[in-house]
Structure 1
Amino acid sequence: MDSPAAAGHEPERRLRRAVLWVAGLNLAYFFVEFAVAIAIGSVSLFADSVDFLEDTAINLLIFAALGWTLHRRALAGKAMALIILLPALAAAWQAFAKVASPEPPDPLSLVLTAGGAAVINLVCSLILARFRHHGGSLSAAAFLSARNDVLVNLAIIAMALLTAWFGSGWPDIVLGLIIVILNVGAAKEVWETAEEERLAARALAGEEID
């Protein structure tokens, strides 16, 4: 029979295993999506590929930070909020660069690649769903990012159909800007959760909270 201490550490061990699986899946598909995005010149796919790299970093940091104090985890949560903004910056840069020449990306490549991404992100979100309320801002960051990614992937598929219908690159640019908005919203939620943890750490330390 496991000791009470061992049983207490079991949820943490399960979360560690989960985030390593999620990090590996995200890193593997980053290379796939990034290569396709560059090949077909897609703003939204490029932003989504950077998002896979961001998710890899988030989950590896969760793996490292689980043993940290509440205060340090709050700081890490705020770092994660800033990391979530990276795909937004990438999408904004790509969208700006493509405005002058909005060539449409290949719709079939968009559908196939985004479909694969949706499967990967759905699997990751299901893995992380049961931990979203048990790891503070860090696990919240990972779950929110994976959840938003599924929505983005479905939007890319819909955008591909519009691209095929209109033969224009503008749907791809517009979706890139929507990705910016989604990531800003997720970053805000994670930042607020991390701030709550920071205040909780101060309260535990006996500090006055304004």
Structure 2
Amino acid sequence: MGTEREDDEPEVPLDARDAGERRTLAWVLCINLAQALGVGTVGLVASSTGLMGAALDNLADAGVYAVSLYAVGRTVTAKARVARLSGVLLIALGIGLLVEVIRRFSAGADPVGIAMIVTALVNAAVNVLCLRLLRPRREEGVHLKASWIFTTNDMLANAGIVLSGVAVMLTGSAVPDLLIGLVVVGIVLHGGWEILEQAREARRAADAA
């Protein structure tokens, strides 16, 4: 009972480093919410599974950053718990995207290649900004490592969307977009599993200390 209470309370009053973490996480949270809205809207209009996947990934990132804000200044156990929640969230969204890929494959929607390319490039540029904000703090806790993994996954997904957009334009087929949707599903599920592994390691280290 007493241990749970300690896990839920800050270890110490917020210092300058904690304030810096909060400021960084608040910035990337707002950025990813804007990305999810913008990319998701284009994905719907352009009938692109890849872009819808990228939007879901950005939304998952925003969720990670939101729960990571809670973890700032708290115990290692609390941070591991937040990272575990982030991993579960990412896996759940990956499964949701898989369902969407299957639905679009059955419906036979035709994506717009140029919209995929331009949107993915813009999204990737914004992700670079997020990585620059997170880089100095990625070793300051498992919750921030989780945030770094999420944003790195976004870069891989956007690179794939650009390539599939080119393929859609050259072939006139929706197959490349559906394939990149499946690739994004794999990236998302792998990232979620990696975060869960890091959370388990952090929890074991905290228990052994």
Q: How many angstroms does 1:101 deviate by?
A: 3.6
Tell me which residue corresponds to 1:93. 99
TM-superposed CA distance for 1:91, in Å, is: 2.0
Q: Does 1:37 align with 2:17?
A: no
Contact 1:133-1:140 within 8 A present in 2 as well: yes
Letter in 1 for 2:139: H
The residue identity in structure 1 corresponding to 2:81 is L
Match of 1:185 in 2: 190
Q: Spell out the pairing of 1:1-210 with structure 2 (5 A cutoff).
A: 9-136=15-142, 138-204=143-209
Q: Say if 1:102 and 1:168, in contact at 8 Å, map to a contact too.
A: no
Aligned amino acid, residue 123 of structure 1: L
Cα offset, 1:126, TM superposition: 1.6
Could you tell me how far 1:129 is from its partner in structure 2? 1.6
Separation in 1, partners of 2:96, 2:200: 26
- 1:51 is paired with a residue whose SS is helix
Give CA deviations for 1:48-101 in whole Å, capped at 9, x if unaligned: 101111111111111111132222221111111111224312320111102224
Partner Cα distance (2:160, 2:90) in 1 = 19
> 1:103, CA displacement in angstroms?
3.2
Q: Distance in 1 between matches of 2:165 and 2:102?
A: 20
> Is the contact made by 2:79 and 2:141 (CA closer than 8 Å) also made in structure 1?
no
Unaligned ranges ≥5, structure 1: 205-210
Structure 2: 5+ residue stretches without partners: 1-11
> Identity of paired residues, percent?
24
The equivalent residue for 1:207 is none
Partners of 1:132 and 1:139 within 8 A in 2: yes
- 1:155 partner amino acid: G
Residues 91 and 193, structure 2, Cα contact 8 Å, conserved in 1: no
The CA RMSD measured in Å over matched residues stands at: 1.7
CA contact (8 A) 1:104 1:169 kept: yes
Deviations 1:5-30 (Å, cap 9, x if unpaired)? 99x92222211111100001111121
TM-score by length of 2: 0.89
TM-score, structure 1 normalization: 0.89
Q: CA deviation at 1:105?
A: 0.6
**1:120 Cα offset (Å):** 1.1
Question: Which amino acid in 2 is paired with 1:70?
Answer: V
In the TM superposition, residue 169 of structure 1 has moved relative to its aligned partner by 0.5
Instruction: Give me the whole-angstrom Cα distance separating, in 1, the residues matched to 2:19 and 2:123.
Output: 27
